[in-house]
Structure 1
Amino acid sequence: MARKSKNNRSQLIIILVFVCLVFTSVGITSFTVLKFQGQETGAGGYKNVTLTDAYLVCETKLKQYVGESLHSYGIDDLSTRYDQERSLYLVFFSAQIRNSKKGESTNNYVTCQVDGRGAIDDFWVSVEREDGDGVHRRDKTNPFGYEF
């Protein structure tokens, strides 16, 4: 009878150790998944950025930059692309922006560069003028960021 009691205790200890290992494994896995799921890779960035993510980031920036003056906009599907050499998403829009003084809309061209983390690397809006001088940036700087 003493032998049966020792066997039952041994089996109970083995089962308890096995159950503890299972709970520990599930706990560690759950913690790891919850902690690292959708974790940012840096300030303002994400893992596995796609062209759609870049488009959405640029669209948000355009709406913030122009505000209520934005009449309509559309993505330029032919020019928008991923530049593998520079590791940047290049997103191009054409936008109709209302002039607050005249109430008329002007043609504008938006260029947005998004890095591999999903953060905007460069953003500018160019205005098509009817005075024959061609296209000018709205912020009075050249493509390199210097004022002219």
Structure 2
Amino acid sequence: MPICSDGGIVHDYHITLALAMGADFIMLGRYFARFDESPTKRVNVNGSYMKEYWGEGSARARNWQRYDMGGDKKLSFEEGVDSFVPYAGSLKDNVNLTLSKVRSTMCNCGALTIPELQEKAKITLVSSTSIVEGGAHDVMLRDKR
């Protein structure tokens, strides 16, 4: 039976984690909502550009009447969000970068395919301090030119 990772994908590495942990496919509504190509307007919220985003389980999505099957309204509850996500520019540039990150992590695990990733990846819990110490720190990075 196929496994869907639905919700919680915020950063690129979350996609690779979901795949490594057994997901066959991933819901990426929040991911795609950030781009120019999504149908919502870009708005300025407290000095930052954002895009509107609402989850499929939100009252806003249900108000589109896509989900009205004539059932008892008392049995319905809101489980999605109605919010803003940071604006990220064009889809093409971002998708290519995301896919590069996924491929890079797969290669670091010795995997060329998703089934190989699921077999070879080892998920390890690390502290936030380990993440900081593992990256470039105590230096000022130069601009890439």
* The structure with more strand, counted as a fraction of residues: 1
Which has the higher Rg, Structure 1 or Structure 2?
Answer: 1
TM-score normalised according to structure 1 size: 0.18
